[in-house]
Amino acid sequence: MTKPLNVGLIGYGFMGRTHSNAYRKAPNFFDLPYEPVLKTVCGLEEDQAKAFAQKWGYESYTTNWKEVVEDEKIDVVDICVPNNVHAEIAIACAKAGKAICCEKPLALNVAQAEEMVAAVEKAGVPNLVSFNYRRVPAVTLAKQLIDEGRLGRIFHYRANFLQDWTISADVPQGGDATWRLDIKAAGSGVTGDLLAHCIDTAMWQNGPITSVSAMTETFVKERMHAETHKIEAVGIDDACTFMCRFDNGSLGNFESTRYARGHKALYTFEINGEHASIAWDLHDLHRLSYFDHRDDSIVRGWRSVHVTDGDMPYMDKWWVPGLQIGYEHTFVHQVADFLQSMAEGKPAAPTFRDALATQKVCEAVLNSAKKKSWEQVK
């Protein structure tokens, strides 16, 4: 019989839902070494925690995360709270010997991320950071094609993550719904929230980023704070553009903003190599665009690969060729991979240490923008 694995979820918001859905679905589609049991959920509001527990099938609920960490029955703690609460909970979990799945970005800054890495490595607990876009089958396939050498030497990596939801100066900062605009809760703006995803995927596919030159802008300088109702200076970056060099000699170009009218969550990347290029678009996430210069010239051109066949990453676990999957499935893949790695006693990527590398790039980007200089990534 499959061994039960008791899950304690902290945070019942957007990510709390995606992760809960993943724990429920993963055993139906993957042959897992453990059976996830939704043991307890924690969040700030008791009535909402209770309603969430009922809706998703958690056995209990609490408003005190320490109860989850101290509960001896809990095997895995899943951290889905705003960025400023990640470190304290994760370090306590490590000390209590829990396996940890933590949402991204790992921490508010590099110093905090280093403490978290030290804590999980000292305790030897399984740890994973939820950079879920790695687990879109088309994105995983892109990594596979690069690793197979199909692109040859890589010259360029460019990525964008565009949104438009903070253009109005009436959007407040802080509080439950808009903590992302409050520097104290978020640590940074689009750099940690959106570019962290692009950086994680880019370094996974194309190796380490060694130096960066960035510019950031805060278009709306003051906003009302949702908790104090006072007008306060905005500390986050609303938009960020940076150039970079990768260790393999290729050049990178990254852009993110919440001021690109018409775009809700347009994450795209394009990679240009000596023989071939790859492009991907979150709005068409089951397709990978591929151009191979080695094709006969009379049929050479960009092809749109429908990533649904059973020999493509993760797809043998889902429907039949031609039928696609979507956003929620990235989290199902994450749960499946995490549990499998745990059973095998292997690290599940991206680990806290991998996410620390992303945090270092984010910090170098923010420092570069502030100092108007090229920064080495330490």
Which CB atom, from 48 or from 324, has the smaller least distance to ligand NAD? 48
Give one DSSP letter per residue of 320-337, joined into a string.
-TT----SHHHHHHHHHH
11: contact with ligand NAD by CB under 6 A:
yes
| Structure-token match 């995927």, residue found | 201
Which CB atom, from 103 or from 354, has the smaller least distance to ligand NAD? 103
Kindly tell me which residue out of 36, 43, 187, 252 binds ligand NAD, with binding defined by CB under 6 A. 43
- Compute CA 26 distance to the chain's CA centroid, rounded to the nearest angstrom: 19
Dihedral, CA of residue 359, residue 364, residue 369 and residue 375, to nearest 10: -160
Give the C-alpha separation, 198 to 162, whole Å. Answer: 11
65: contact with ligand NAD by CB under 6 A:
yes
Which CB atom, from 71 or from 103, has the smaller least distance to ligand NAD? 103
Determine how many CB atoms are found less than 10 A away from the CB of residue 54: 11
Kindly tell me which residue out of 8, 16, 172, 189 binds ligand NAD, with binding defined by CB under 6 A. 16
Contact mark string toward ligand NAD, 93..132, x via CB under 6 A? ----------xx-------------------------x-x
77: contact with ligand NAD by CB under 6 A:
no
10: contact with ligand NAD by CB under 6 A:
yes
Which CB atom, from 85 or from 260, has the smaller least distance to ligand NAD? 85
Give the C-alpha separation, 131 to 111, whole Å. Answer: 20
Stretch that binds ligand NAD, among 5-13, 210-218, 272-280, 295-303 (CB under 6 A): 5-13
81: contact with ligand NAD by CB under 6 A:
yes
Closest CA to 374 of 208, 214, 225, 263: 214
Residues 318, 321, 325: CA angle, nearest 5 degrees:
45
Closest CA to 191 of 159, 224, 157: 159
Residue nearest to ligand NAD (CB): 13
Query: Least separation, in Å, of the C-beta of 329 and ligand NAD?
Result: 13
82: contact with ligand NAD by CB under 6 A:
yes
Query: Are the C-beta atoms of residues 82 and 185 closer than 8 Å to each other?
Result: yes
Binding site for ligand NAD (CB under 6 A): 10-16, 42-44, 65, 80-83, 85, 103-104, 130, 132, 176, 193
